[in-house]
Amino acid sequence: MPALTTIAHRLTFGDALTGLVLGIIGGSAAGVALAVSISESSILGGVFGTVFGLFFAKRATNPGAGLIWGLSFAFLGWLMLIAKPFQSANMFHGARDRFPELVGVLVCLGSPVGIGLGLRGRRLRETRKSEFSWARALAGGGFAGTLSSLIFSQWMYEGNFFPLVAGLELGSRSATVLSHFLMALLIGATFGLLFQSDVFSYGSSMGWGLAYGVFWWFFGQITVLPMVAHRRPDWSAHRGSELFGSLVGHIIYGLILGVVYAIVDRVWVRLMIESDPLNREREGPGFRFLRSLRWGAVAGLSGGLVSSPLMLATGIFPRTAGLGSSLSTLVGFLLHLLISVFLGMSYGLLFRHEAPSAGWGALWGSSFGLIWWYLGPMTLLPLILTGECDWSTDAASKLLPSLVGHLVYGAVMALTFFLFEHHYATQILADPRTAAREMRRIRPVGTPAPALWLFALGLGVLLPILLGG
């Protein structure tokens, strides 16, 4: 025991020291970028890194986990900055004024400190090191990135808009196309390298994709690409508003990347690992497929019913699914329920085994609601109805009210789904043969899921409000 305590102390000290060093370096860089006192920013960065090293490093078991935890902690830190003075009427404008600091803490502190401690954590701590496969990560991520870019960019070409390299004026279309694909390949490959250990279900992979897409917007779009174009990065809220369309594009790309990567990874695991008779599970695919669809349908219906009184009170039903005001209230209500059922079924398939508790379920559900706000009202609905999608701040501002509705719908739906899953689990866990398999499939404590929720939900909700002003 004393030896273990000594090791733990050494690790903690090492983490704190590593965090301090990375924090000072990051703080200095942020100071330069923000044109503020470098000594002050270095000190703040050092404090950030040290606190992260002391309290968060245990969770940074690999670079991907470290990145998400770092971003989440940085975001929380920024919220503390803008919370002074609290409840001021100018808080919103104050937050906009501090937008450059948000970019700074995410890009210069959260990500490098997190990745750095994550690398250290992989070397010293990761308990599932043997499961990481470079080939699977690079091939799967690269393939997923390229395929996602192809899927994603089909309609982009017509509008001559390449969100992953927006603002980068390369002169020729072919150079832009090439840059877009290279960027997609880079994001995809790094996605696989960073998050292979943390991706469980297709749904959580979409969550990671969303978070990664937001990160790449801050890191790539707002910071690195201008530097590549020999321009000083503009971290203002105004610039952020101008690039809002690119933000939504990054999020959509991230969502597609997440689900495609999860599919590719799942196929890899199914064909290369689980098909080995030595690894064969008791049941094959489809064990709970139909059940998950049924549960999801009922869960979606419950979410739709809970949100219906509010939609009725606000008179939204005639405009359900963006269909102008052409629907009667009853038809709009029924259409709303139908969409709710469909979304519920998709949740049931995408987020199985992700919620060992009701709280986790509610958070995954809200994340799912957020995903569908970007996918549905922001992208697919206008695309289907008008052939174009409008990712401007004006369009997002008009859709802000439905954002909260999506979060609440998602939470209620996920809670209902959790009740079904939990009820069934108590039954099948009585079978020791199935119990072991179920335990392996349920997301364990110790993954960066809590950090993902804060980062993805926080910025996913905050950015449309902040940049739309």
| 436 binding another protein? (CB under 8 A) | no
Shortest spacing between CB 442 and another protein, in angstroms: 11
Interface pick for another protein out of 37, 39, 88, 328 (rule CB under 8 A): 88
| 92 binding another protein? (CB under 8 A) | yes
Nearest to 66 by CA among 116, 108, 30, 23: 116
Interface pick for another protein out of 59, 136, 336, 352 (rule CB under 8 A): 59
| 325 binding another protein? (CB under 8 A) | no
- In the stretch 250-289, what mask flags binding to another protein with x, by CB under 8 A? --------------------------------xxxxxx-x
| 228 binding another protein? (CB under 8 A) | no
Interface pick for another protein out of 61, 72, 221, 292 (rule CB under 8 A): 72
- In the stretch 443-462, what mask flags binding to another protein with x, by CB under 8 A? --xx--xxx-xx--xx--xx
Interface pick for another protein out of 14, 58, 263, 338 (rule CB under 8 A): 58
Using H for helix, E for strand and C for coil, what is the string for the chain? CHHHHHHHHHHHHHHHHHHHHHHHHHHHHHHHHHCCCHHHHHHHHHHHHHHHHHHCHHHCCCHHHHHHHHHHHHHHHHHHHHCCCCCCCCHHHHHHHCHHHHHHHHHHHHHHHHHHHHHHHHHHCCCCHHHCCHHHHHHHHHHHHHHHHHHHHHHHHHHCCCHHHCCCCCCCHHHHHHHHHHHHHHHHHHHHHHHCCCCCCHHHHHHHHHHHHHHHHHHHHHHHHHHHCCCCCCCCHHHHHHCHHHHHHHHHHHHHHHHHHHHHHHHHHHHHHHCCHHHCCCCCCCCCHHHHHHHHHHHHHHHHHHHHHHHHHCCCHHHHHHCCCCCCHHHHHHHHHHHHHHHHHHHHHHCCCCCCCHHHHHHHHHHHHHHHHHHHHHHHHHHHHHCCCCCCHHHHHHHHHHHHHHHHHHHHHHHHHHHHHHHHHHHHCCCHHHHHHHHHHCCCCCCCHHHHHHHHHHHHHHHHHHHCC
Among residues 44 and 396, whose Cβ is nearest to another protein? 396
Considering only residues 352 to 411 of the shown chain, the ones binding another protein according to CB under 8 A are 356-360, 362-363, 366, 397-398, 400-401, 403-404, 407-408, 411
Question: What is the C-alpha separation between 462 and 442, in angstroms, rounded?
Answer: 30
How many CB atoms neighbour CB 466 within 10 A? Answer: 20
Among 9-17, 68-76, 168-176, 182-190, the segment contacting another protein (CB under 8 A) = 68-76
Among residues 73 and 261, whose Cβ is nearest to another protein? 73
Considering only residues 31 to 50 of the shown chain, the ones binding another protein according to CB under 8 A are none
Shortest spacing between CB 405 and another protein, in angstroms: 8
Among 17-25, 142-150, 216-224, 308-316, the segment contacting another protein (CB under 8 A) = 308-316
Q: How many Cα atoms sit within 13 Å of 337 on the Cβ side? A: 13
Interface pick for another protein out of 12, 14, 55, 124 (rule CB under 8 A): 55
- In the stretch 136-175, what mask flags binding to another protein with x, by CB under 8 A? ----------------------------------------
How many residues in the shown chain lie near another protein by CB under 8 A?
68
Among 67-75, 151-159, 168-176, 202-210, the segment contacting another protein (CB under 8 A) = 67-75
Among residues 231 and 238, whose Cβ is nearest to another protein? 238
What is the token pair recorded at 225? 């690409």
Q: Please give the residue ranges that form the binding site for another protein (CB under 8 A).
A: 55-56, 58-59, 69, 72-73, 76, 79, 82-83, 86-88, 91-92, 95, 282-287, 289-290, 310, 313-314, 356-360, 362-363, 366, 397-398, 400-401, 403-404, 407-408, 411, 426-431, 433-434, 445-446, 449-451, 453-454, 457-458, 461-462, 465-466, 468-469
